[in-house]
Structure 1
Amino acid sequence: MADAQPFPERPITMVVPFAAGGAADATGRILAEGMSKVLGKAVIIENVGGAGGATGTARVKNARPDGYTIGLGHTGTLAAAVTVMPKLPHNPKTDFAYLGVVATTPNIIFVRKDFPANDLKEFIAVAQQKKEQLTFGHSGNGAASHITCLLFFGLIKAPPTYVPYRGFGQTVNDIIAGKIDGSCDLVASVAGQAQSGLVKALVVASKDRSPTLPDVPTAVEAGIPEFQAETWTGLFAPRNTPKPILDILGKAVAAALNDPEVDKRLATIGARVPDADGRGAAAMQKLVAAEIDRWADILNKAGFKPD
């Protein structure tokens, strides 16, 4: 019997469940390049948008479990989506073999540059007056931008009209064009537009300010300490992927995260590499289970009702 060929023999596909241009896409591309160096084969990004990330995530669930298709997921697609989408086509607790958490980044509330509010206090006053006349975009039910908005507007008791998009690029373009009022996406998605003044950043949903946008106050500083929404991002493979292949992929993820260039590039987009204890497969499996319960509680308290 011939010896099995070493893995990988050919390029690996990393499915990013959103359109190109947002934080998930940027994070995936940075990790893909880092992993490619370690594996000796290209890791190619495949953007599969739709249904708040559920379409692309299902693509990984249904892929052949041979290590050649892996996925990128985050707080929205692997945790909050369980509550937001009762008919979710995957079970994050049982359908995947996790490779590890690769980055965390806080979310941010931002609006069009001519919105009639210059800080969070002024924005809340306008939002509570306008309510459904206010329009906020997101990348689909269950996406990080969606659940962050649900949490924030639930806290201030002023639900806007939500406008779903297939990805961040379309959302931010319409905000810049003045077609909608704002969004609640990741710092890593909108840092460039905020720095250049194309949009107005109001508050970061974290306890500490973002090094990428140091002038933007935290939720604690702005008077809403309950508004904490830091998005974690991780990688996974289909269930039943052989352990030797998972080990190779996991080591490639770990090596990429230890690469100073990867760390630097993630920091540039406002993302942070987790410490060693929070990175690996076991840590991600535990995190997913805990976050499913945490976001169910958050969304239920916010009064969210799935369609």
Structure 2
Amino acid sequence: MARDHLLPRRRLLAAMPVLLATPALAPAALAQAPAWPDRPVRMVVPFAAGGATDVSARLVTQKLSEVLGQPVVIENRPGAGGTTGTDYVAKSAPDGYTFIMASLSTVGLALGLYGKLPYDPVKDLAPVAPSVLAPIGICVRRELGVSTLQEFIALLKANPGKYSYGSAGNGASGHISVVAFLQKTGTQAVHVPYRGSGPVFNDLLAGVVDFTADVPGLMKPHVESGALKALVMATDQRSSVLPQVPTSAEAGLPGYRAYSWFGVFAPAGTPKPIIGRMAAGMETALADPAVARRLDQEMGLPPMRGYTPEKFGAFLKEEIDYWVPLVKASGARAD
């Protein structure tokens, strides 16, 4: 079963189209756009402030505001693993002034975690553009006294159910990443869901929980201070943000993969010209050298460029087809 949770290298590479950027996308779409926006645009983030979705969204929307000529205002609506905010946007008026920076967990994994999700990601949301790929790693608090992934696995095996891990919410990518890790290693730990990654790291540093799975950019300051120990990046290549942290294979757990991605969606029925302009704006923002550098080199979140709304929609369906059966087979539930 553990193998079913793994992401083959070809899928990971396919999810990183940064090298397939299409510069012609932005000018054409901008030229055909209607007189929109004529007032501030709301970008809902379905997690608490301080997490990877929130921080990356704030970075991108700063540039996006310049491109669109109107403020793009972040509004945090956390709860239920991100599904509360996602449902809010799915039921919002399709007038082009409400969007969401969703994640793989809220528009993909959630379909396998909830018996009755209040929205259909494919029918109730219109794909606009992806933002970034989010590789995931595991870090523990220093007081556990482990220096390697194998030492941590041995500690978990010797103390079934003693240690706890925090995640951004039931069904969040970090949650599923740890579920896959526990199943692959035959270990047990207690899940403590939060309303975003920011609160998770606060409690991890305070010793309330013992470990978490998240993106390297959020781990970096605490790893560098010595408060946390990063044990593995669940990828094929080391992170440029935490180059000292071994990959899964290097850490003795070959094949263990974990990732997420973030992307912009609108309520279904939003006029296509508006979706096209927003997609073009996202492409321009992600192509900005300063934005791309901060996302990739400082946060470890490679921009996902070169997507039309149609291509992004096809990508979403592929992700749903791949992940939902695996999530259901894992037995993980969020309701």
The TM-score normalised by the length of structure 1 is: 0.94
SS at match of 1:202: strand
The structure in which a higher percent of residues are helix is 2
Aligned to 1:119, which of 135, 148, 158? 148
CA deviations on 1:60-97 (whole Å, 9 max, x unpaired) are 10111011000011111111111112222111122111
Question: Given that residues 151 and 299 in structure 1 are in contact (C-alpha distance below 8 angstroms), is that contact kept between their aligned partners in structure 2?
Answer: no
1:85/1:43 CA distance change after superposition, 3 Å = same
Write out aligned runs for 1:182-261 (5 A).
182-261=211-290
Aligned to 2:109, which of 70, 80, 97? 80
d(CA) in 2 for partners of 1:75 and 1:200? 26
Write out aligned runs for 1:84-233 (5 A).
84-233=113-262
Question: Given that residues 164 and 189 in structure 2 are in contact (C-alpha distance below 8 angstroms), is that contact kept between their aligned partners in structure 1?
Answer: yes
SS at match of 1:220: coil
Write out aligned runs for 1:49-60 (5 A).
49-60=78-89
d(CA) in 1 for partners of 2:228 and 2:210? 10
Q: Which residue of 2 aligns with 1:272?
A: 302
d(CA) in 2 for partners of 1:90 and 1:303? 21
- Give the superposition deviation at 1:195: 2.4
Alpha-carbon RMSD across the aligned residues, in angstroms, is 1.6
Q: Which residue of 2 aligns with 1:45?
A: 74
CA deviations on 1:225-269 (whole Å, 9 max, x unpaired) are 221112111111110001111111111111111111110121211
Matched, 1:263 2:292: yes
SS at match of 1:304: coil
Q: Which residue of 1 aligns with 2:29?
A: none
- Give the superposition deviation at 1:107: 0.5
Matched, 1:70 2:99: yes
d(CA) in 2 for partners of 1:91 and 1:64? 16
Question: Given that residues 144 and 186 in structure 1 are in contact (C-alpha distance below 8 angstroms), is that contact kept between their aligned partners in structure 2?
Answer: no
- Give the superposition deviation at 1:305: 4.9
1:299/1:154 CA distance change after superposition, 3 Å = farther
d(CA) in 1 for partners of 2:175 and 2:48? 15
**Percent identity over paired residues:** 39
Write out aligned runs for 1:24-43 (5 A).
24-43=53-72
d(CA) in 1 for partners of 2:262 and 2:116? 23
Question: Given that residues 17 and 73 in structure 1 are in contact (C-alpha distance below 8 angstroms), is that contact kept between their aligned partners in structure 2?
Answer: yes
The TM-score normalised by the length of structure 2 is: 0.86
- Give the superposition deviation at 1:193: 1.7
Question: Given that residues 65 and 241 in structure 1 are in contact (C-alpha distance below 8 angstroms), is that contact kept between their aligned partners in structure 2?
Answer: yes
d(CA) in 1 for partners of 2:176 and 2:226? 25
Equivalent position amino acid for 1:39 in 2? L
| Count of matched residue positions in the alignment of Structure 1 and Structure 2 | 302
d(CA) in 1 for partners of 2:212 and 2:66? 36
d(CA) in 2 for partners of 1:167 and 1:306? 15
d(CA) in 1 for partners of 2:186 and 2:308? 38
Q: Which residue of 2 aligns with 1:297?
A: 325
Question: Given that residues 149 and 184 in structure 1 are in contact (C-alpha distance below 8 angstroms), is that contact kept between their aligned partners in structure 2?
Answer: yes
d(CA) in 2 for partners of 1:198 and 1:54? 31
Matched, 1:18 2:47: yes
- Which residues of structure 2 form unaligned runs of 5+? 1-33
Q: Which residue of 1 aligns with 2:14?
A: none
- Which residues of structure 1 form unaligned runs of 5+? none
Q: Which residue of 2 aligns with 1:288?
A: 316
- Give the superposition deviation at 1:300: 4.0
- Give the superposition deviation at 1:223: 2.3
Deviation larger for 11-20 or 107-116: 107-116
Deviation larger for 38-47 or 242-251: 242-251
Equivalent position amino acid for 1:231 in 2? S
d(CA) in 2 for partners of 1:130 and 1:43? 48
SS at match of 1:63: coil
- Give the superposition deviation at 1:55: 0.5
d(CA) in 2 for partners of 1:110 and 1:142? 19
Deviation larger for 128-137 or 210-219: 128-137
d(CA) in 2 for partners of 1:220 and 1:95? 39
Equivalent position amino acid for 2:51 in 1? G
Question: Given that residues 149 and 232 in structure 2 are in contact (C-alpha distance below 8 angstroms), is that contact kept between their aligned partners in structure 1?
Answer: yes
SS at match of 1:159: coil
Equivalent position amino acid for 2:97 in 1? Y
